[in-house]
């Protein structure tokens, strides 16, 4: 949809034959795309020293966080907070930054990812 995302003058589309992709391949493609879009949004907003992922949908995605860690170049942690919002809310209202605990994600390691992200 035009007018949406950090690229408002572009319309998203699949390249190649998307119908030939398995459900797992589609999930992987969307996970990488989401990591790159979030990287762009965070870069436009300004970036902190670390990223803490709390959203349950993203916490359980095994490709998203490593891809985000690779593209951002800062530590990415998966929060141990089961609710998905309490730490973020406390930080918005003056909670101590850096008090989060979680699992540190290793950056995604694929030789073509950097070139793909730059495109």
Q: What average pLDDT does the chain have?
A: 82
DSSP string, 23-69: HHHHHHHHHHHHHHHHHHHHHHH---S-EEE--HHHHT-TTHHHHHH
- Cα 85 from Cα 8, distance rounded (Å): 28
Q: Summarize the confidence of residues 111-119 as an average pLDDT.
A: 85
Q: What is the pLDDT of residues 41-68, one digit of tens each?
A: 988 888 778 888 877 767 778 899 999 9
**Comparing C-alpha atoms, which of 60, 77, 81 is closest to residue 68?**
77
* Contact of 107 with 64, CB cutoff 8 Å: no
């Amino acid at each position: 949809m035009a007018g949406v995302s950090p690229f408002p003058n572009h319309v998203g589309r699949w390249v190649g034959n998307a119908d030939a992709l398995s459900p797992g391949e589609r999930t992987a493609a969307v996970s990488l795309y989401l990591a790159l879009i979030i990287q762009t949004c965070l870069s436009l907003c300004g970036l902190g020293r670390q990223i803490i992922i709390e959203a349950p949908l993203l916490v359980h995605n095994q490709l998203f966080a490593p891809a985000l860690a690779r593209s951002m170049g800062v530590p990415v942690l998966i929060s141990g907070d089961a609710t998905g919002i309490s730490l973020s809310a406390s930080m918005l209202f003056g909670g101590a930054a850096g008090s989060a605990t979680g699992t540190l994600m290793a950056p995604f390691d694929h030789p073509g990812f950097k070139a793909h992200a730059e495109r």
